[in-house]
Amino acid sequence: MIRVCLDSNVLVAAFAARGLCSDILTHVLGEQHLVVPDSVRHEVLRVLSDKLGLSSEALAAVTAVLDRGERAPPSGAPSPVAVRDPDDERILADAVGAGAHILVTGDRDLLAVAGKAPIPILTPRAFLMLVRGGAVE
């Protein structure tokens, strides 16, 4: 079973609209092992509340879904590679520290260091292609 960390941008998209990211979340919850670093969890809830205006009931439902994954506290370790955005460094460090096998993100700063990272960093489309047995873009 693959331990998958979905970045906050993937999770926000999954909760905000049906589509690729919601399909990925459904797949990971049903077929893989979701790892949710606290840094990602906090960002998802903040964006859904502050920027998208989700109600407290909707946020409770999101929290229940996130709780189906393995909660990963901050690793405290430095990022294994330098990333332009310090917040992205924290996400990568926490995903690696939690034992994630793959990080799925749409974040350009994280994707830019994918070749240097100790775990694969994939776009949502590349991840879906991988788990469906297709070629990775």
User: Is residue 136 included in any domain, yes or no?
Assistant: no
User: Is residue 137 included in any domain, yes or no?
Assistant: no
Q: Which SS3 state, helix, strand or coil, does residue 44 take? A: helix
Residue spans of beta strands (DSSP E) within the chain? 3-6, 33-37, 70-72, 102-104, 121-122
Structural Rg of the chain based on CA atoms: 14
Cβ(74)–Cβ(92) below 8 Å: no
CATH number at residue 85: 3.40.50.1010
> Average pLDDT, whole number, for the chain?
95
Q: Which amino acid is at 17?
A: A
User: Is residue 96 included in any domain, yes or no?
Assistant: yes
> How does pLDDT run across 70-88, given as a tens digit for each residue?
999 999 999 999 999 999 9
> How does pLDDT run across 84-127, given as a tens digit for each residue?
999 999 999 999 999 999 999 999 999 999 999 999 999 999 99
Distance of alpha carbon 126 from alpha carbon 20, whole angstroms:
11
Count of the separate structural domains present in the chain: 1
- pLDDT given at position 134: 61
Q: What's the pTM?
A: 0.94
The single residue listed with the structure tokens 């096998």 is 101
Distance of alpha carbon 53 from alpha carbon 96, whole angstroms:
31
Within its chain, how far is the Cα of 53 from the centroid? Answer: 21
Distance of alpha carbon 103 from alpha carbon 35, whole angstroms:
9
Burial class for 68, CB neighbours closer than 10 Å (0-12, 13-18, 19+): exposed
The single residue listed with the structure tokens 């903040």 is 46
